[in-house]
Structure 1
Amino acid sequence: MPLLIGGGIVGIVLIGLLVFLGIKALGGDEEPEANPTTSQSGEPTGNPSTGGDNGSLGNATGQAKNATEKLQGQGFQCSDLFNTGQGAHRGCFKYDGPTEAEAVFQFSPDGTIIGVLVKSENEENVNNAKVTFDAALQAIGNDTFGGSEVKKIQDAVGTGQKSQKVGSTWGEFELRNDGDQYQLSGGKSGSDSFELPRKSFTTTEDQLIAALKAKKYVCTSSCSKQVGKYGSQRIYSYASKGEGIRSLEMSSSGDPEDVKQALPAAVNDAFGALKGDDVAALKAFVQAHNDGKSYASYVAGWRVEIIANNEDSYSSSRISISYETFYV
């Protein structure tokens, strides 16, 4: 099965990526489980059980160091989900107007990259999505797979097929071309993925809904309030029945001035009802990035995405918090 990392880039990914990536569902009691081949544990420089420091990078050498530096040179912001003596999981994210991209990879202690996902999308201009995809692919692939293997992947992209597998001397890749989105995932032959932290808050959905109703939210599939004449603020969560919340989304849309007030209010309402060891760190990160720009980062073992869409007459912002998933 292709490498999948989630919780997504615009519109929730993951996907494809599919990267997030975090997987969200609107109903049902079960959510797909992360199913890596082999789990790894060890003394942390960033503990897999907690995710390490907020939005920070641990040590990296060799292929991982080279890939990180090249991606950062292209404007990607990188952070580690965890980084231990046994290996690391790193994500690099970029927002450039309507183009959204990410390059997520796992690597062993000597920096050898053993799993990778590259994704780029642009609903307005597919050529810009491809340019960003090619640049990120080369940043990771030239040292990791080799230039000839990178060209093989690029040639496969050029065929325009929706989905195909591409073999290489490094391993097998799954390639997706969805018109406005390009995605590549794969794992190194003979290597196993690292198990990712299985995150949840202690607060259940029922507890969150009760707290939001007390603040005059109307709750159906999500909890919402009207904002201004035509806008809204919304809080959505997912959890298995009776268990702690696994993913959380806060959003606001409407008149730009209304959104500036409504989104911080939704953040305060949601975090005010949440309980768990990571709540303070997550809230601090979200509040520190309340500048109308888009971001993605790993914080306290969670994947956090802040997506802003600002226009003169209409604005929308969405904050999603989910645990990362990774399949090989």
Structure 2
Amino acid sequence: MIGIVVIALLVFLGIHQFGGDDTPESNPTTTEQPTGKPSEGGGQNGELGNATGQAKAATEKLQGNGFGCSDLFNTGQGAHRGCFKYEDNAQAEAVFQFKPDGTIIAIRFESMNDDNNNNAAVVFDQVLQAVGNDTFGGDQVKKIQDAVKSGQKSQTVDTSWGEFELQNDGDSYELSGGKSGEDSLDVPPKTFETTKPQMLAALKAKQYVCTSSCTKEIGKYGQQRVYFYASDGEGIKDIQVSASGDAADVKKALPTALNDAFGVLKSGDIGALKSYIQAHSDGKSYASYVAGWRVEIRGNSSDSYSSQQVEITYESFYV
């Protein structure tokens, strides 16, 4: 990834990178205790504010395993941080909220791999141990690992830290939960000033055909597409811009479709969003928090077919 800034690289036993065929280590690893010094500098994606204690330790371990971390917000009342790792048909994330002293109070972990179910489990266990050993305790991590091994698709896992909801679909794993006695932090709502009717009118004027989304044919068999969502009477809160077809056509079409969409969108965040997207336009997949938005960039290509998508959406967080 471009511009990776690694605050610290902590390598610990039993953790494996993407692409391995190993099974997850059953026993939690032992890690160093976090120091009291706040994290400094920025993450590779978006902005990364200060953290100490559990949040600092978790961030460093995830970064050391190739995750890019960024903050949705980081204030005197607490922070909402996401660490993301997107590679081809695999993606993983560790989203967590923490108090000013670094105490983690809520988490959401996800790992999926369309090509290799075992790798999805390996990376899920990697995330679980990176955050959980210092936050939940090694014995409580073991409880969650045992629940994963049971193979149940959906179950509640009670621990001394708090209650977790575990979803296991074989090729994807999700875990969410909150610390007992703590309330998760409210996520500020985000919308663009532009409304759905305004976007529809502007794209139709550029010869897009609009039904449930707005599309325009490119090349022999491809298309560029803009999809957007807004609640009645409110500004757009989710927009997806994509192109698919011949690789050469897609390379030209995606920037055009992005310019068509950004030419209509109004917000003080536009500059930061455009800058991030332009800096990650190499056809690979990325995810980050940027200016209070969640941005996902997905790329997939072969000799005969290519697809690229950029999605900007408000973050939702429920545990």
1:145 alignment counterpart:
136
Q: Does residue 89 of the first structure (1) align with residue 84 of the second (2)?
A: no
The alpha carbon displacement at 1:311 in A equals 1.3
Q: Distance in 1 between matches of 2:281 and 2:159?
A: 43
Task: State the Cα RMSD in Å.
Answer: 1.2
The alpha carbon displacement at 1:175 in A equals 0.2
Q: One-letter code of the match for 2:74?
A: N
Q: How does 1:3-82 map to 2 (within 5 A)?
A: 55-82=46-73
Superposed CA deviations along residues 124-154 of structure 1, whole A, max 9, x for unmatched, are: 1110000000001100000000111111101
Q: Secondary structure at the match of 1:273?
A: coil
Q: Distance in 1 between matches of 2:259 and 2:279?
A: 13
99, 104, 120: which one aligns with 1:129: 120
Q: Does residue 214 of the first structure (1) align with residue 214 of the second (2)?
A: no
2:6 alignment counterpart:
none
Q: Secondary structure at the match of 2:300?
A: strand
Q: One-letter code of the match for 1:104?
A: V
Q: One-letter code of the match for 1:124?
A: D
Q: Does residue 190 of the first structure (1) align with residue 190 of the second (2)?
A: no
Moved more, 282-291 or 251-260: 282-291
Q: Distance in 1 between matches of 2:114 and 2:280?
A: 25
The alpha carbon displacement at 1:288 in A equals 1.7
Q: One-letter code of the match for 2:217?
A: Q
Greater RCO, 1 or 2 (C-alpha within 8 Å, sep 6+): 1
Q: Distance in 2 between matches of 1:65 and 1:309?
A: 33
1:240 alignment counterpart:
231
Q: Distance in 2 between matches of 1:112 and 1:197?
A: 21
Q: Distance in 2 between matches of 1:126 and 1:212?
A: 40
98, 103, 109: which one aligns with 2:94: 103
Q: Distance in 2 between matches of 1:163 and 1:157?
A: 10
Unmatched tracts of structure 1, length 5 or more: 1-53
2:192 alignment counterpart:
201
The alpha carbon displacement at 1:85 in A equals 1.1
2:36 alignment counterpart:
none
2:109 alignment counterpart:
118
The alpha carbon displacement at 1:245 in A equals 0.5
Runs of 4+ off more than 6 Å: none
TM-score for the superposition, normalised by structure 2: 0.85
The alpha carbon displacement at 1:96 in A equals 2.9
Identity of aligned residues (%): 69
1:268 alignment counterpart:
259
Q: One-letter code of the match for 1:295?
A: Y
2:242 alignment counterpart:
251
Q: How does 1:269-288 map to 2 (within 5 A)?
A: 269-288=260-279
The alpha carbon displacement at 1:229 in A equals 0.6
Q: One-letter code of the match for 1:133?
A: F
149, 163, 188: which one aligns with 1:158: 149
